[in-house]
Amino acid sequence: MTDMHPLKNRKWLIVFIKAILLFLFAGFCNDYILSSNSFLATIFVYSLLLAAWYFFTLILKKIPCNIHKELFFSGLVLLVLLLFVEVYLRFGVKTHLDFGEINGLSGRSNLYSSSMADAYIAPKPSQVVSYRNKEFSFYRKKNDKGLSEKNIPKKDSAEIRILCLGDSFTEGAGTSYDSSWVKHTEALLNETNRGNKFTLINAGLSGSDPFFEYLLLKNNLLDYKPDWVIMNVNQSDIFDFIIRGGMERFKSDGTVQYNYRPWWYQAYRYSYITRHIVHDVFHLSQMLHTIEDEQKLVARAIKEINAVGQSLEKLGDEAGFKFVMVLQPLHSEIEANRYLYNNYLHIIDNLRYTINLMPCFVDRVKHLNDKSGYYWPADTHFNTKGYQIMGECIFENLDSILIAQPSSLENLGHSTFK
């Protein structure tokens, strides 16, 4: 009877190991664990490596080789040591973390995945989007066109419609629906009481960029019949271009394909050791390029975003709206009183109507008692105060543009400004 216990225990141990391996395989196939932004994803990858090493040593056991046990345990020791280093880099050093890891968001993003492309071009209607990070909660109920906006009724004859395109800074990540810059600007325009009703439509989508926004407007939003279209552009759009490419991402068969990622990207995604090697040994930028290559890509991004602006002007000539491109600085650029890229202002070259928010933002922020009180420190999006400043700055510049264009309002059937 005593001899049965070790055999029985070994049988249950084998069943347990098989169950763990099945769990690992299922998690790998579904990308459920791998998509997590918690440290569990890194542990999961090391578990897969350990399982692979275990099966390798089993293969050695089938051939005349007596070192499979030593190999297995040496591999086990090495993987455990590497995992300890990963733990230290993740929770001790805390450098080279991605956006989700800094903010505790649920879901580790794959920057080169185009799975969200359809949601940027033709967002699903009537959905509820919500998430919570360490600093704020985000909640939006989408309208019948999939925008973070109320359903827009038929256009009134005395109404001036302004459609606002952009990413999360336009959608209003970091504040409520009523406190986005879009709604602040709308309120200020209506307070001027010039005999017109202004309706500003928030068409911002978190994670979008000018190339997606152009197609969103062209394919889905022209029936709003806007009189003006504003596109808000910021530094993140340069990053998006480097990852996704420009208009060439849209293939003739209707699919979307981003730029080819580095072959070692998955290792970079899950291993903090790899991240330190990439940035601290090979000195690649946060966008995973050499300084020289990144400068070339930035110059190309600026040129192609400017081309999108010119395409929107042509589309406006055909559809009956006027286009305004807005350059929005991030908080780090406001503090430095300069854009990150020296040639950034070339984005608005040769465009008819443009707004550079930097001077206004710098002037407003310098009068704040708390110079960091307009944005969320970890997330870096603006808070309610930041969006209020942004709305006021856009209003001041946009108001000047509108006043200088009374004839355009007459042509649209609106009463002119007084």
Instruction: pLDDT tens for the chain, 418 residues: list them.
Output: 445 455 555 666 566 566 666 655 555 555 555 665 567 778 877 877 877 777 777 777 766 666 767 777 888 888 889 989 988 988 888 888 887 777 766 556 678 888 889 999 999 999 999 988 889 999 999 999 999 999 999 998 889 999 999 999 999 999 999 999 999 999 999 998 667 899 999 999 999 999 999 999 999 999 999 999 999 999 999 999 999 999 999 999 989 999 888 989 888 888 899 999 999 999 999 889 999 999 999 999 999 999 999 999 999 999 999 999 999 999 999 999 999 998 999 999 999 999 999 999 999 999 898 888 999 999 999 999 999 999 999 999 998 888 776 544 444 333 333 2
Alpha helices (H) in 345-383, listed in sequence order? 358-365
pLDDT of residue 203: 98
Go through the domains of the chain in sequence order and give each one's CATH number: 4-94 (no CATH), 117-411 (3.40.50.1110)
Q: How many angstroms separate the Cα of 359 from the Cα of each of 174, 362, 364? A: 23, 5, 9
Strand partners, 197: 159
* Predicted local confidence at residue 418, as pLDDT: 28
Q: Which two tokens stand for residue 87?
A: 């733990």
Strands (E) in 28-180, as ranges, are: 128-132, 137-141, 159-166
144: which residues sit within 8 A by CB, 6+ positions away? 125, 126, 151
Write out the two tokens for 240: 């998006």
Amino acid sitting at position 10: R
The pLDDT of residue 11: 66
Q: What own/partner pairs with CB < 8 Å and gap ≥ 24 does 110-119 have?
A: 110/35, 110/269, 111/243, 111/261, 112/243, 112/258, 112/259, 112/260, 112/261, 112/265, 113/258, 114/244, 114/249, 114/255, 114/256, 114/257, 114/258, 116/207, 117/212, 117/249, 117/256, 118/256, 119/146, 119/205
pLDDT of residue 71: 77
The total number of residues written for the chain in this structure: 418
Strands 228-233 and 159-166: parallel
Q: Is 260 left (phi over 0), alpha (psi -120 to 50) or beta?
A: beta
Tokens of 165: 């395109």
Phi, psi of 407 (to 5 degrees): -65, -35
Predicted local confidence at residue 9, as pLDDT: 55
Give CA–CA dist 337/37, Å, rounded.
Answer: 33
Say if CB 52 and CB 76 are below 8 A apart. Answer: no
Q: How far is CA 177 from CA 37, 139, 320, 332, 347, in A?
A: 27, 8, 28, 25, 29
* 8 A C-beta contact, residue 42 and residue 86: yes
Q: How far apart are CA 134 and CA 137, in angstroms?
A: 8
So what's the pLDDT on residue 417? Answer: 31
User: Given this model, what pLDDT does residue 20 score?
Assistant: 60
pLDDT for position 37: 57
User: What does DSSP say about strands 322-327 and 128-132: parallel, antiparallel, or unpaired?
Assistant: unpaired
Please name the residue ranges forming H helices in 88-154: 99-103, 117-121
257's tokens: 């394909």
pLDDT for 113 equals 84
Phi, psi (5° rounding) for residue 166? 165, -175
